[in-house]
C-alpha cells in the first residue's frame, strides 16, 4: 500500500542554525494557511522535509504548484510513501518512472535517515536499480549525468520515493523578517517590488494613492487585483487606499510646476511612514529602478527620502525593465499591470518635471502649504481591505485607540470590493 503526498524541500532555512525550528514552524503555519480548502489532512516536519498529506491520500500536481508559490519553499516533489518492505518501495519506484515522461537514462539515489533500517544505501541502490532495469529494459543507467534521478529515502519507518520536482519560489517564510509598508501602484514595478520583499520573509502592507475623487477609482480596483494575485504567497496583510485627488490639486495649485511630482511623492512617503508607525512596520518599499524614468534619478530619490526618517527599500533599483516584466509574468501581476488606469500620478502632471531636484528648492516649495495637516487629513480619509492569507499579519486593534493623536477622529471605512 502506498500513498501519494507532497514533500517540501527548503534549503536556506537549513542554514539558520538555532533559528531553524522557528523558520520551519513558520513555514508549516504558512503552508497550512495557503492550503486551506485543498483537502489537506496533515502538514508535518520530518528529517529535513515538510510532508503535506491529503485526506484522499493522493496529492496532485496542482497541490504541488500551490505549495511552490509559498516563500521558503525551494522544491516540491510528489512522492510515494510506502513501508520499508523492499518490494513496496521498488513498486513505488516503478510507478515514479512510469509517470516521469520523457527520459532515457536514470539513476537510483538511496538515502537513509533512520539507522534502525538495516539495509545499507548501497544495497538499496542495487535492489531498486535491478527492479527498474527489469521493468524498463529500454532505459539505461547513467550514474554521472542521468536524465532522471529516482530518490528512495528511508525515514522513520517509511520510504519516500520520488523523482521529479517543481521548483519553488525560494526565499524565506513570510513572518520571519518583520513588516514593511509598500507603496503600491497598479504599474509593473511596485507589485514586483512587493513580492520580492515578501519572498524574503517580510509581511507586506501595501498603501495605494488614488486620484479619487478627481479620477475614477479604476486604479484602486487594479491594486486590489494585484493583492489578490499576490495573496497565494501569503505576504499581503492589508491594503490601504488613500484618495489623494483633492490634496494633489491643492499641491498643484501652490507648488511650482516642475516640483509637483517630487512633492506628491514626499507627501506619499510621509503618509506611508505614519502608517508604518501605526502598523509597527520597520521600512517602506517602492518599485523604483535607477534612471528608469526621468524622475528616478539619484537627486530625486534623495529629495524624496529626505521627507522621512524610516528606511526606504528599493528592491528593483538595479533591475532592467525586461527583468521586471518577466518577474511580473511569473507572479501573475503582468496582466493586471497592462491595464491602464489614471492614478494620482497621472493627475496634474507637469509638462516638464524636475529631474535633478535641489533639496533647498524643494523645501522652499514645501513651505507654501501645510504638509503636516495634509498628512493628518490623508490618514483620516484612508480606507482599507483585508486579505486573510497572511497568518502572521495582525492589524492594529483600532487606529483610533492606538493612535488617537495621529488620527484625530480616526475613522477608517472599509474599502468596497469589486463584486
Q: Can you tell me which residue has the cell 494557511?
A: 33
229 binds, among Mg ion, ligand ATP, none (CB under 5 to 8 A by kind): none
Report the site for ligand ATP in 193-232 (rule: CB under 6 A).
208-209
Q: If binding is defined by CB under 6 A, does position 295 make contact with ligand ATP?
A: yes
Q: Given candidates 190, 233, 333, 392, which one binds ligand ATP under the rule CB under 6 A?
A: 190
Window contacting ligand ATP (CB under 6 A); options: 73-81, 148-156, 342-350, 392-400? 342-350
Nearer to Mg ion, 187 or 191 (CB): 187
Q: Residues near 329 by Cβ (< 8 Å), separated by ≥ 6?
A: none
How many CA atoms does the CB half-sphere of 194 hold within 13 Å? 35
| Block residue for cell numbers 503555519 | 29
Name the grid cell of 316: 528593483
Q: How many CB atoms lie within 10 A of CB 104?
A: 11
Task: Give min distance, CB of 279 to Mg ion, in A.
Answer: 23
Residue 183 interacts with ligand ATP (CB under 6 A): yes or no: yes
Contact partners, residue 275, CB within 8 Å, separation at least 6? 181, 205, 207, 240, 281, 379, 382
All cell numbers assigned to 272: 506611508
Judged by beta carbon, residue 187 or residue 332, the one nearer Mg ion is 187
In the complex, what is the shortest distance from the CB of residue 357 to Mg ion, in angstroms, rounded to a whole number?
19
| Rounded Cα–Cα distance for residues 329 and 282 (Å) | 29
Q: How far is the CB of 367 from ligand ATP (least distance, A)?
A: 24
Considering only 343, 354, 366, 383, the residue that binds ligand ATP (CB under 6 A) is 343
Q: Which residues ranging from 167 to 196 are in contact with Mg ion (CB under 5 A)?
A: 185, 187
Closest CA to 156 of 117, 110, 108: 117
Partner from Mg ion, ligand ATP, none contacting 354, C-beta within 5 to 8 A by type: none
Pick the binder of ligand ATP from 30, 176, 224, 286 (CB under 6 A).
Answer: 286
The distance of closest approach from Cβ of residue 156 to ligand ATP in the complex, given in angstroms and rounded to an integer, is: 47
Contacts of 390 by beta carbon, 8 Å cutoff, 6+ apart = 33, 174, 175, 203, 234, 235, 236, 237
* Phi, psi angles (nearest 5°) of residue 3: -125, 160
| Partner in contact with 233, chosen from Mg ion, ligand ATP, none, beta carbon below 5 to 8 Å by kind | none
Provide the minimum distance between the beta carbon of 55 and ligand ATP in the complex, in angstroms, as a whole number.
Answer: 41
Give CA angle at 221 (218, 227), nearest 5°. 145
Which residues on adjacent β-strands are paired with residue 58?
4
- Please count the residues of this chain forming the interface with ligand ATP, following the rule CB under 6 A: 20
* Binding at 344: pick from ligand ATP, Mg ion, none (beta carbon under 5-8 Å per type): ligand ATP
> Quick check: 359 and 260 in contact, CB under 8 A?
no
Residues comprising the chain, all counted: 419
Name which of 168 and 206 has its Cβ closer to ligand ATP. 206
Q: Which stretch binds ligand ATP (CB under 6 A): 6-14, 24-32, 43-51, 343-351?
A: 343-351
Contact of residue 327 among ligand ATP, Mg ion, none (CB under 5-8 Å per partner type): none
* C-alpha pair distances (Å), 25 with each of 34, 44, 72, 199, 344: 14, 9, 11, 17, 41
Q: How far is the CB of 114 from ligand ATP (least distance, A)?
A: 50
Q: Which does 333 bind (CB under 5 to 8 A by kind): Mg ion, ligand ATP, none?
A: none
Strand, helix or coil for residue 383? strand
Smaller CB separation from Mg ion, 185 or 392: 185
Which range of residues in 173-181, 187-195, 232-240, 371-379 is near ligand ATP by CB under 6 A?
Answer: 187-195
Q: Is 344 in the site for ligand ATP (CB under 6 A)?
A: yes
CB of 17 to Mg ion, least distance (A): 41
Residue among 272, 275, 207, 276 at smallest CA distance from 236: 207
Where along the sequence are the contacts to ligand ATP (CB under 6 A)? 183-185, 187-190, 208-209, 268, 286-288, 292-293, 295-296, 343-345
Amino acid at each position: 500500500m502506498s500513498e501519494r503526498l507532497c514533500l517540501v524541500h527548503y534549503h536556506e532555512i537549513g542554514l539558520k542554525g538555532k533559528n531553524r525550528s522557528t523558520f520551519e514552524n513558520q513555514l508549516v503555519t504558512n503552508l497550512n494557511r495557503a492550503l486551506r480548502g485543498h483537502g489537506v489532512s496533515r502538514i508535518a516536519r520530518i528529517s529535513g522535509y515538510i510532508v503535506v498529506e491529503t485526506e484522499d491520500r493522493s496529492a496532485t500536481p496542482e497541490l504541488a504548484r500551490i505549495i511552490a508559490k509559498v516563500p521558503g519553499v525551494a522544491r516540491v516533489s510528489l512522492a510515494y510513501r510506502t513501508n520499508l518492505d523492499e518490494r513496496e518501495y521498488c513498486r513505488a519506484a516503478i510507478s515514479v518512472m512510469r509517470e516521469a515522461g520523457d527520459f532515457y537514462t536514470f539513476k537510483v539515489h538511496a538515502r537513509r535517515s533512520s539507522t534502525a533500517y538495516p539495509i545499507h544505501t548501497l544495497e538499496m541502490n542495487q535492489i531498486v536499480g535491478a527492479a527498474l532495469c527489469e521493468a524498463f529494459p529500454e532505459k539505461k543507467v547513467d550514474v554521472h549525468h542521468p536524465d532522471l534521478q529516482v530518490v528512495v529515502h528511508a525515514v522513520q519507518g517509511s520510504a519516500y520515493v520520488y523523482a521529479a520536482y517543481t521548483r519553488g519560489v525560494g526565499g524565506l517564510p513570510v513572518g520571519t523578517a518583520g513588516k514593511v509598508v509598500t507603496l503600491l501602484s497598479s504599474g509593473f514595478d511596485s507589485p514586483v517590488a512587493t513580492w520580492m520583499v515578501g519572498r524574503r520573509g517580510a509581511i507586506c502592507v501595501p498603501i495605494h494613492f488614488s486620484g479619487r475623487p478627481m479620477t475614477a477609482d479604476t486604479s484602486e480596483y487594479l491594486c486590489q487585483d494585484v493583492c489578490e494575485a499576490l495573496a497565494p504567497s501569503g505576504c499581503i496583510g492589508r491594503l490601504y487606499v488613500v484618495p489623494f485627488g483633492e490634496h494633489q490639486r491643492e499641491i498643484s495649485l501652490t507648488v511650482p510646476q516642475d516640483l509637483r511630482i517630487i512633492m506628491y511623492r514626499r507627501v506619499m512617503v510621509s503618509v506611508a511612514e505614519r502608517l508604518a508607525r501605526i502598523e509597527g512596520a520597520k521600512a517602506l518599499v517602492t518599485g523604483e529602478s535607477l534612471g528608469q524614468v526621468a524622475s528616478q534619478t539619484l537627486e530625486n530619490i534623495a529629495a524624496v527620502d529626505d521627507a522621512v526618517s524610516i528606511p526606504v527599500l528599493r528592491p528593483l533599483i538595479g533591475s532592467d525593465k525586461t527583468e521586471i516584466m518577466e518577474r511580473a509574468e511569473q507572479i501573475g501581476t503582468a496582466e493586471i499591470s497592462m491595464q491602464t488606469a489614471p492614478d494620482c500620478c497621472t493627475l496634474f502632471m507637469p509638462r516638464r518635471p524636475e529631474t535633478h531636484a535641489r533639496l533647498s528648492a524643494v523645501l522652499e516649495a514645501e513651505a507654501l502649504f501645510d504638509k503636516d495637516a495634509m498628512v493628518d487629513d490623508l490618514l483620516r480619509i484612508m480606507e482599507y481591505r483585508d486579505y486573510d492569507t497572511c497568518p502572521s499579519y495582525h492589524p492594529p486593534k483600532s487606529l483610533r485607540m492606538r493612535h488617537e493623536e495621529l488620527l484625530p477622529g480616526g475613522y477608517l471605512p472599509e474599502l468596497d470590493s469589486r463584486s
